[in-house]
């Protein structure tokens, strides 16, 4: 959420001015990313202004008007004080004073209106750019494959999409206007001061470099603490997300204390990173306070001496003091820009780390768009491993599935059954061989059209927050209510849905927490039925069902499988008794295949698995 204004208030304490200025200079590189200031990233950063050029120009123009009015006000004060000794009679004097007061009030009105435009329209521009960034990042995350998420943690990604981009939006808004105002005010105030008293101006400007050197001495420490804080708050988010998402597991093991300890570790690390930053800033403020007070003392003492020596008028000294206040404002704004740059561009760099990850599974040039395939699948010497230097999960696997055939895949745990099912929709890419759909390599088929024609019910049940109907309609967004009910009936879910408080309009909570495991799994099966895809893949889809529900699902599955190519991966062999063909997968590949009765008579690996389950 944007605050009304993130620039430092005009009444900020002098000790804060150079402290803010120090945050502008950072050359530290992330250990796990290219240089934050790489030309490509800077070009990308600036490119987001392109759709908002007219608004940006208006925003900067109003910011310059604010600067000019701030410079004119001391000049008006100087004009009044200079004429005090030359004014004629009282009515004439009062008239000139009122006239100048009216001019100053008009300047204040112009300044107020310009500031209003900058604060409102500028923030709107920043919010639009932030929204565009968030949209692009989220859409890119949707393109990345399972392998990316195998290496990432949700809490870290959430922090980049939310917290980091909020700071980027503030930088987009305040960056140009703060720099424009700072440059104009600093140059303008310096020119006015030099015109009033060059020697005193040079004396003031001679103090500033020492303050900057002192600031730079502590800058590295504060920047390191800032970046570390960013990483640590992301770790805190990750810990919170992981713990609260698994709260039922936590409570079932009575491990609230363990979770509190784990959270406390990350929380303390975050506190330590903040403490380091505050320590550097505290030592920094001790010195910078002296420099800012030294400027004020110098103006008062030296200015008074020059007034006594008749080298500076009282009116000029008053104007000098007013202009010194104007001269300090650019320091405030540069310091504010420095803070926003550290927060914003660091967040932008973290965003770019994700955007620069190219999807490893995407459409090939000229990819074929398929309508509704017959469903013939062929595996040709298929091999797969999750990492380039890791062990093969599958190797030299070859078999065919005819259109409309109901095939079951069984075998001991860890031989790659679920991995095989994930290769067909290209959730992962084969590292050896090829998978063909109707004779076409699936890598030559458009991803979207391929996946639209495959219905998948995975072992890991996932439902979205919302109603029952919304979750079922996820299978086909344009489905009618009648089609939703038909799919639920086919999955033996209609009766329990109607028993819920609001039927199909019942809110099921985050990840379906208000439902039992079997109910959730039946909804995911109904969702796949509603998709009406010509190819169905069930990966342990009945593992959480009771015997009665499992029998009902098997019956529905038999009906569905008649017109569809169906691959069922099952641990319970009772689920696949009626399959047209059963493939027994072992570490050495397909050990045997055939119908249930044929494999039992053969007395091989399948018969041993069946006997083992029957004895339990």
DSSP secondary-structure letter at 4? Answer: S
- Whole-number average pLDDT of the chain: 80
274 contact partners, CB below 8 Å, separation of at least 6: 225, 229
Tell whether the model's pLDDT for residue 224 goes beyond 80: no
Q: What is the pLDDT of residue 34?
A: 40
For residues 13-34, average pLDDT? 39
CB 15 within 8 A of CB 292: yes
Q: What is the pLDDT of residue 482?
A: 92
SS3 sequence of 5-53: CCCCCCCCCHHHHHHHHHCCCCCCCCCCCCCCCCHHHHHHHHHCCHHHH
Q: What is the pLDDT of residue 309?
A: 82
The string of pLDDT tens digits covering residues 374-419 is 999 999 999 999 888 878 889 889 999 999 899 999 988 888 888 8
Q: 33-355 architecture in CATH?
A: Up-down Bundle (1.20)
Q: Among the listed ranges 4-18, 228-242, 314-328, 482-496, which one has the minimum average pLDDT value?
A: 4-18
Q: Among the listed ranges 286-295, 457-466, 470-479, which one has the minimum average pLDDT value?
A: 286-295
Q: What is the pLDDT of residue 401?
A: 93
pLDDT band at 88 (very low <50, low <70, confident <90, very high): low
Buried b (16+ CB within 10 A) or exposed e, 73-106: bbebbbebbeeeeeeeeeeeeeebeeeeeeebee
For residues 44-67, average pLDDT? 89
For residues 294-320, average pLDDT? 80
Q: What is the pLDDT of residue 552?
A: 66
DSSP letter string over 307-350?
A: HHTTSS-HHHHHHHHHHHHHHHHHHHHHHHHHHHHHHHHHHHHH
DSSP secondary-structure letter at 161? Answer: I
| CA separation, residue 251 to residues 247, 265, 302 (Å) | 6, 20, 72
How many whole angstroms from its chain centre is CA 76? Answer: 50
Q: Among the listed ranges 150-159, 285-294, 338-347, which one has the minimum average pLDDT value?
A: 285-294
Q: What is the pLDDT of residue 219?
A: 60
For residues 145-169, average pLDDT? 80
CB 175 within 8 A of CB 59: no
Report the topology of domain 377-614: Rossmann fold (3.40.50)
Tell whether the model's pLDDT for residue 199 goes beyond 50: yes
Specify the 3-state DSSP secondary structure of 447: helix
Tell whether the model's pLDDT for residue 520 goes beyond 50: yes
Tell whether the model's pLDDT for residue 573 goes beyond 60: yes
For residues 124-140, average pLDDT? 89
Tell whether the model's pLDDT for residue 7 goes beyond 60: no
pLDDT band at 485 (very low <50, low <70, confident <90, very high): very high
Tell whether the model's pLDDT for residue 457 goes beyond 60: yes
The string of pLDDT tens digits covering residues 349-358 is 888 888 888 8
CATH 3.40.50.300 positions along the chain are: 377-614
CB 70 within 8 A of CB 185: yes
For residues 500-506, average pLDDT? 91
The string of pLDDT tens digits covering residues 545-563 is 666 666 766 766 776 677 7
Kindly tell me the sign of the dihedral angle through the C-alpha atoms of 416, 417, 419, 425. positive
Tell whether the model's pLDDT for residue 36 goes beyond 70: no
Q: Which two tokens stand for residue 484?
A: 């939703």
Q: How far apart are CA 544 and CA 540, in angstroms?
A: 9
pLDDT band at 30 (very low <50, low <70, confident <90, very high): very low
Q: What is the pLDDT of residue 493?
A: 86
Q: What is the pLDDT of residue 583?
A: 93
Q: Which two tokens stand for residue 223?
A: 């920047």
- Of residues 279 and 371, more confidently modeled: 371
Q: What is the pLDDT of residue 12?
A: 40
List phi, psi (to 5°) of 187: -65, -45
Buried b (16+ CB within 10 A) or exposed e, 378-387: bbbebebbee
CATH 1.20.1560.10 positions along the chain are: 33-355
- Helices 90-143, 53-83: inter-axial angle, 10-degree rounding: 160
For residues 54-63, average pLDDT? 90
Tell whether the model's pLDDT for residue 513 goes beyond 60: yes
Q: How far apart are CA 517 and CA 515, in angstroms?
A: 7
Specify the 3-state DSSP secondary structure of 406: strand
Q: Among the listed ranges 69-73, 433-437, 472-476, 580-584, which one has the minimum average pLDDT value?
A: 69-73
The string of pLDDT tens digits covering residues 244-275 is 777 767 776 777 888 888 888 888 888 887 78
pLDDT band at 433 (very low <50, low <70, confident <90, very high): very high
Tell whether the model's pLDDT for residue 283 goes beyond 80: no
For residues 434-448, average pLDDT? 93
23 contact partners, CB below 8 Å, separation of at least 6: 219, 222, 223, 226, 335, 338, 339, 341, 342
Tell whether the model's pLDDT for residue 470 goes beyond 70: yes
Q: What is the pLDDT of residue 492?
A: 81
Q: How far apart are CA 178 and CA 186, in angstroms?
A: 12
Q: How far apart are CA 130 and CA 142, in angstroms?
A: 18
Q: How far apart are CA 69 and CA 128, in angstroms?
A: 29
List phi, psi (to 5°) of 492: 60, 40
Q: Among the listed ranges 19-23, 335-339, 432-436, 500-504, which one has the minimum average pLDDT value?
A: 19-23
For residue 430, how many C-alpha atoms fall within 13 Å in the half-sphere facing its CB? 23
Tell whether the model's pLDDT for residue 489 goes beyond 80: yes
């Amino acid at each position: 959420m944007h605050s009304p204004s993130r620039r430092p208030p005009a009444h900020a304490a002098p000790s804060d001015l150079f402290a803010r200025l120090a945050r502008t200079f950072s050359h530290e590189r992330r250990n796990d990313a290219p240089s934050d200031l790489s030309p490509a990233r800077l070009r990308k950063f600036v490119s987001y202004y392109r759709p908002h050029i007219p608004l940006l120009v208006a925003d900067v123009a109003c910011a310059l008007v604010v600067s000019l009015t701030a410079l004119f006000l001391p000049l008006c004060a100087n004009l009044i004080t200079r004429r005090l000794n030359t004014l004629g009679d009282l009515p004439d004097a009062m008239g000139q004073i009122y006239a100048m007061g009216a001019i100053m009030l008009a300047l204040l009105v112009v300044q107020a209106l310009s500031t209003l435009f900058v604060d409102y329209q500028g923030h709107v521009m920043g919010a639009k750019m932030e929204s565009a960034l968030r949209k692009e990042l989220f859409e890119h995350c949707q393109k990345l494959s399972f392998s990316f998420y195998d290496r990432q943690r949700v809490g870290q990604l959430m922090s980049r999409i939310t917290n980091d981009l909020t700071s980027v939006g503030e930088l987009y808004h305040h960056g140009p206007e703060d720099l424009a105002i700072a440059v104009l005010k600093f140059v303008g105030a310096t020119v006015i001061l030099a015109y009033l008293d060059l020697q005193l101006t040079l004396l003031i400007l001679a103090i500033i470099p020492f303050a900057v050197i002192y600031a730079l001495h502590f800058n590295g420490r504060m920047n390191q603490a800032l970046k570390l804080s960013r990483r640590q708050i992301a770790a805190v988010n990750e810990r919170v997300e992981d713990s609260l998402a698994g709260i039922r597991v936590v409570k079932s093991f009575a491990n609230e204390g363990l979770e509190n300890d784990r959270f406390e570790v990350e929380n303390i690390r975050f506190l330590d990173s903040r403490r380091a930053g505050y320590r550097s800033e505290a030592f920094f403020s001790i010195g910078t306070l002296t420099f800012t007070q030294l400027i004020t003392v110098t103006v008062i003492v030296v200015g008074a001496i020059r007034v006594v020596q008749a080298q500076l008028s009282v009116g000029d000294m008053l104007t000098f003091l007013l202009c010194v206040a104007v001269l300090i404002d650019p320091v405030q704004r540069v310091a504010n820009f420095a803070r926003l740059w550290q927060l914003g561009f660091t967040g932008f760099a973290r965003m770019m780390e994700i955007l620069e990850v190219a999807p490893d599974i995407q459409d090939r040039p000229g990819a074929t768009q398929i309508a509704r395939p017959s469903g013939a699948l062929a595996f040709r010497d298929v091999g797969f491993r999750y990492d380039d230097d890791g062990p093969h999960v599958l190797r030299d696997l070859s078999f065919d599935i005819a259109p409309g055939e109901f095939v079951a895949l069984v075998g001991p745990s860890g031989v790659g059954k679920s991995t095989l099912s994930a290769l067909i929709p290209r959730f992962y890419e084969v590292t050896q061989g090829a998978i063909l759909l109707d004779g076409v390599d699936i890598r030559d088929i458009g991803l979207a059209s391929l996946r639209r024609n495959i219905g998948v019910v995975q072992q890991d049940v996932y439902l979205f927050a919302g109603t029952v109907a919304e979750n079922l309609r996820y299978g086909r967004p344009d489905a009618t209510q009648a089609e939703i009910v038909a799919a639920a009936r086919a999955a033996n879910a209609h009766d329990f849905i109607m028993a819920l408080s609001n039927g199909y309009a019942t809110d099921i909570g985050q990840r379906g927490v208000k439902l039992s495991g079997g109910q959730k799994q039946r909804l995911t099966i109904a969702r796949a039925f509603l998709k009406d895809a010509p190819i169905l893949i069930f990966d342990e889809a009945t593992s959480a069902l009771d015997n009665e529900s499992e029998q009902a699902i098997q019956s529905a599955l038999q009906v569905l499988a008649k017109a569809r190519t169906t691959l069922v991966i099952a641990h319970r062999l009772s689920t696949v008794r009626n399959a047209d063909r059963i493939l027994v997968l072992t570490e050495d590949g397909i050990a045997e295949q055939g119908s249930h009765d044929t494999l039992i008579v053969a007395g091989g690996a399948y018969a041993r698995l069946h006997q083992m389950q029957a004895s339990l």
